Amino acid sequence: MIYDLSLQTGGFITGIVLILLSVPGLVKPGSVQNWLKRFPRSGIAGVVLLTLTLVWSFWLLATMEMGEFSSFRRPLM
């Protein structure tokens, strides 16, 4: 197995995270609605999300098995 988590554990973790993310919308729907309307135009949120995806992409590139494409690892990093 290439992953440490089983599919069931990953499903439980994903479900718990989704439930926790939806709780603020149930408690204060008006303020969450306003925040979600502003979110796509937020420069700070864009920089944070792009930084996270950059770090995640480099981590995946450094750790995953690339098979016959392993010669591309060095130019991509």
Domain locations along the chain: 42-77
pTM as predicted: 0.55
Q: Tens of pLDDT along 2-38?
A: 668 888 999 999 999 999 999 999 999 999 999 889 8
In whole angstroms, give the CA distance from residue 76 to residue 54. Answer: 12
Give me the chain's average pLDDT, please.
87
> Taking 90 as the threshold, does the pLDDT of residue 77 lie above it?
no
